[in-house]
Amino acid sequence: MTLHSLWYRRNPWVWLLYPLTWIFWSISQLRRALYLHDLLPRYRPEVPVIVVGNISVGGNGKTPLVIWLVQMLRDAGYKPGVVSRGYGGKGASYPLLVTADIAASVCGDEPKLIAERCQCPVAVAPKRADAVKALLASGEVTIIVCDDGLQHYALARDIELVVVDGDRRYGNGHLLPMGPLREGLWRLGHADAIICNGGLPAVGEYPMQLKAEAPRPVNPALQGTLAVGEGEVDALAGIGHPPRFFKTLQQAGFRLQQTVAFADHQEFSAESLLAQFAERPLLMTEKDAVKCRSFARDSWWYLPVSASLPRSLRDLIINKLKDNPYGVRS
């Protein structure tokens, strides 16, 4: 039995973890209070900051929202840059600007994906403030999008967008480690918007749908696509919630022979993948593809997805920026 299985069903055994949850709650509440009352230093850049995050662990769909947000802000006349922690990356020093010649293993898979899809400045650093300063030094950025920074209170922000998995919601509603929550449900009341990824949105939430495009070759030197119905395929996913990806493939009409779920930010090698996937075409997420480009086989494909959101969310964000371009930082 894993913690994940306890989090998303009612199970009295989770109460054995209550002492640890109480400690986690005490430390997180104290830390937040110290930042919000300026007893710990906070960095306030001279440009607006939009934070995209969640209150639960695991994949909720933040990266597609960040990509949508960058494209929307660019269309509105802003010059966005993205900052990230760079989970899974092994950079020798930080801050690190994500350029075309930097591998995902160095900068992290999500920053690499965002940089490729958006063609915008992206910087990673354990301290988000350092990444913001690196972007501002370039002179090419007029607004910052912070990927997965809701609990990173050392960086002041103007707008907070919270993503929730519409199917799993908040699990059993408990804080870590009793449940999947980083912060309590009360935290949602302080966000500017709650975005529901799939499922049925609650009252006041903005619905987000992920639309899959035709598969593309993982090897960037190739072209073409993998047609549905050409036979059985294998699939892998090293993301926060792999079942969502496999379900998307099945709904698209692909016949899955083998599905393998890896840990989020899993590092891959040609040897390990060829040992498991050598007989049939292989489908993977775009996040996994950025880590496999250098050794991809011709029969490997990835499935791009794009977020679809209502016009009302765009209007909310733009109006908040226009009414107070530097925001009331929380």
242-284 pLDDT, tens digit each? 998 999 999 889 999 999 999 888 889 889 898 889 889 999 9
pTM of this prediction? Answer: 0.91
pLDDT for residue 150: 94
Strand order in the sheet with 96-97: 96-97, 122-124, 80-84, 143-147, 49-53, 159-165, 193-197, 206-212, 305-308
Number of H helices and E strands in the chain, helices first, is 10, 14
CATH (residue range 3-209): 3.40.50
pLDDT of 13: 86
Distance, in Å, from the CA atom of 100 to the CA atom of 157, rounded to the nearest integer, reads: 28
In terms of residues, how long is the chain? 330
Of 123, 52, 21, the C-alpha closest to 82 is: 123
**What residue segments make up the domains of the chain, in order of their start?**
3-209, 214-303
- Res 324: pLDDT: 65
* Low-confidence spans in the chain with pLDDT less than 70: 1-4, 324-330
Cα distance from N-terminal residue to C-terminal residue, the chain: 39
Q: pLDDT digits over 178-227, tens only?
A: 999 999 999 999 999 999 998 899 999 999 999 989 999 999 889 888 88
Burial class (CB in 10 A: 0-12, 13-18, 19+), 25: middle
